[in-house]
Structure 1
Amino acid sequence: MNIKLLTLGLAMSFLNSQAQNIPLYIGTYTEGTSEGIYKLEFNPSTGELSNLQLAEAIQNPSFITYSPNKRYLYAVSESLGGSVSSFKIQENGQLQFLNKVDSNGKGPCHISLNRQGNKAVVSNYGGGSASIYSIARDGKLNEASQIFDYNTMDRKSHAHSAQFFRDELFVADLGMNALYQYKLKNDNYELALPEIVKMEGNPGPRHFAMTKTGQFIYIINEYGSSVTSVKKTDTGFEQIDYDSTLDESYEGKNSCADIHLSKNELYLYGSNRGENSIVVYKRNKLDGTIEKIQTMSVHGDWPRNFTLDPTGKFLLVANQRSHNITVFRIDAPTGKLTFLTEVKVPSPVCLLF
């Protein structure tokens, strides 16, 4: 009887551990052994990753995102003839292809949706453009309704990321050294500011993180290895801080990649490719300024995208060149990182919970 109870207890424990796992989708580059979008199971209690599976074969899905209800997944295909695809997420976690549309520019590298889930914006790095799409109720993408071409006779654009915020749209252009602001009018986005703040030198704004209220924006600069902190004012925007992402002792080459705020917005994280680190800042919630408190090795090579898990207790890094995803525990009182574990995945560049 005791043996039966013990066996039942172990079985229940195993089932509970399996039930609490949540899916992590991984976008990759497919020039090597990768075949497309992969899926792992993540244990939010322990930080463990397991059960690697190919979710969908697709060329160079370098950035992926969910619909707000998480019923659909959207992926760019970063290639010369760029495209954007929509998928329905099945009960087993596999992806059912719905449709594909033109990205209207070479090298699409980022996609995001608005809160309603009825519009998407794609940034085309190679083409120097951003495209707006409406999304049908069945999750399919319509052809682009607006295309913004940022190239000029004198300079090549590299649009790298974009985010909706209420009736606004912000686009980071690494090539033109600007963060654009658009406002929605009559179901179209119109340019409100060609640059929200003047970017001195050529830092190369790549990605950005916004506070929930939209009052503060933190821009990570690929060329400048820096973070530009911006505050929204009654008349526009103003720069309030500019901080290096690198440790003072580091002297090699570096290219910044991604940036995220902690759940409580007390800490800010950024990724360094070259130094191969995650920089941690403590954030002043009153005035928005930041202070560097940690430089943590990613235990890999070329950290591109990273993400925080839904609990806010773990940070996961996609290391493109070392073909691994590393997991770090976040210390709640300090925001600092401790390395936990890693798992091998071919050329990971985007992580999606």
Structure 2
Amino acid sequence: MSGLRAHIGSFTSEGGPGIVTASVEAGTGALTAVHTTDSVADPSFLTVDAPRGVLYTVTETAAGAAAALRLTGDGLALAGAAVPVDGVSPTHLALAGAHLLTANYGSGSVSVLPLDADGLLDGPARVLRHEGGGPNAARQEGPHAHWVHPDPTGAWVLSVDLGTDSVRVCVIGDDGALSVHDETRLRPGSGPRHLVFHPRGHRAYVVNELDPTVTVLGWDADTGRLSPLGETPILPKDVAADTEAYASGIAVSADGRFLYTAIRGHDSVSVLALDDTGDELDLVANVHCGGRWPRALTLDPQGTHLYVANQHSGDVTWFALDEAMGVPSRSGALAVPAASCVVFS
């Protein structure tokens, strides 16, 4: 395999093809599908361990599981059976040393699966179950873990819970079990979904699904504690209050100048400029996502293009980024029914 590859997850239960691998044209960022595998059900979120040549995926079903696939030539090959995560509807996953983490939305829990020396999955899962709820009776009747990832130092594991309006900071013990070190409460009813760290690692940004905003938090890696610093709307001021709008993905540029979020319903991508401290965010633009219901977005490794997975219109749209202002300009799209995320290898 030569050149950059994009791997696109999709919901097979909604007619998606599984995982589509596409070549990425240098310069233009254009995608061309080269391989598809439907060996995993509902592979809605993916991550790649490039040095080991392994791609990991959740299977976002009631009987939640995770699976490993080998990067082979232009495609992927399933590397063993999917391993149960002992959680319902895992929506996100991340690597943490010799472990794979999953955030299980349906059961409000985070699972830890061990990896063998080749990066393949083992079990059983160790599970940390969140507790609590929020004021939105329809969406926050209980915990709903939506994102999990190590901090930039690798010493801590953070999990974002939409149902409890909070971010937990955890440690992984020698036995692979997670334990909660601290829990940071965000604004009640905000519905935090995903988190990214500033490239300098001193700030974290949480995109809130239920009230489209970004919360800025200070991060102290020495003590493992977050401190809320402010909140910024990601919709234009002239949007009607009853507009359907559910924020989803978030990404930050490698130079720390721009933050991007996707908003479903409003079907837009917001562009926020960051000041030198990383504390202040200024909404500079909202552009159409190129389709309907943008579930996730990501920057390519070079930071020159933005890719948006539009679930309901069934496509991945790519945008060239203006170097000075960071504003995306639509360049093209690849049809992928029920697209859910994009990662690169």
Match of 1:175, SS? Answer: coil
Structure ranking higher on relative contact order (CA contacts 8 Å, 6+ apart)? 2
1:340 Cα deviation after fit:
1.0
CA distance in 2, matches of 1:145, 1:34: 28
Match of 1:31, SS? Answer: helix
Identify if the C-alpha distance between structure 1 residues 101 and 148 changes in structure 2 by more than 3 Å, giving closer, same or farther. Answer: same
CA distance in 1, matches of 2:124, 2:217: 30
Identify if the C-alpha distance between structure 1 residues 283 and 20 changes in structure 2 by more than 3 Å, giving closer, same or farther. Answer: farther
Structure showing greater radius of gyration is 1
1:43 Cα deviation after fit:
0.8
1:324 Cα deviation after fit:
1.0
**Aligned twin of 1:162:** 148
CA distance in 1, matches of 2:171, 2:179: 5
- Contact kept, 8 Å, 2:216 with 2:230, in 1: the verdict is yes
2:166 aligned with 1:178 = yes
Q: Deviations over 1:135-158 (max 9, x none)?
A: 111221121452111145994110
2:203 aligned with 1:216 = yes
1:90 Cα deviation after fit:
1.0
2:197 aligned with 1:206 = no
What amino acid maps onto 1:46 in structure 2?
Answer: T
**Aligned twin of 1:63:** 45
Identify if the C-alpha distance between structure 1 residues 70 and 93 changes in structure 2 by more than 3 Å, giving closer, same or farther. Answer: farther
1:93 Cα deviation after fit:
2.2
Q: Deviations over 1:25-69 (max 9, x none)?
A: 111001233231111111131121113531343210011111152
Match of 2:170, SS? Answer: strand
Gaps of 5+ in 2: 135-140
What amino acid maps onto 1:219 in structure 2?
Answer: V
Match of 2:180, SS? Answer: strand
Q: Deviations over 1:57-95 (max 9, x none)?
A: 321001111115250011111111111111111123232
Shifted more, 279-288 versus 145-154: the winner is: 145-154
CA distance in 1, matches of 2:88, 2:293: 23
2:266 aligned with 1:278 = no
Match for residue 99 of structure 2 among 111, 119, 125: 119
Match of 1:218, SS? Answer: strand
- Contact kept, 8 Å, 1:35 with 1:59, in 2: the verdict is no
2:83 aligned with 1:101 = yes
CA distance in 2, matches of 1:54, 1:186: 38
Match for residue 130 of structure 1 among 102, 107, 110: 110
CA distance in 2, matches of 1:222, 1:82: 23
- Contact kept, 8 Å, 1:20 with 1:44, in 2: the verdict is no
**Aligned twin of 2:180:** 191
State the superposition RMSD in angstroms: 1.9
- Contact kept, 8 Å, 1:208 with 1:218, in 2: the verdict is yes
- Contact kept, 8 Å, 2:308 with 2:318, in 1: the verdict is yes
Match of 1:98, SS? Answer: coil
CA distance in 2, matches of 1:286, 1:102: 42
CA distance in 2, matches of 1:220, 1:52: 33
What amino acid maps onto 2:216 in structure 1?
Answer: S
- Contact kept, 8 Å, 1:207 with 1:259, in 2: the verdict is yes
Q: Deviations over 1:99-124 (max 9, x none)?
A: 3211111111111012x4x2111011
Length-normalised TM-score, structure 1: 0.88
CA distance in 1, matches of 2:333, 2:24: 12
**Aligned twin of 2:58:** 76
What amino acid maps onto 2:305 in structure 1?
Answer: F
CA distance in 2, matches of 1:71, 1:56: 19
Match for residue 305 of structure 1 among 292, 296, 301: 296
**Aligned twin of 1:140:** 120
Gaps of 5+ in 1: 1-18
- Contact kept, 8 Å, 1:250 with 1:275, in 2: the verdict is no
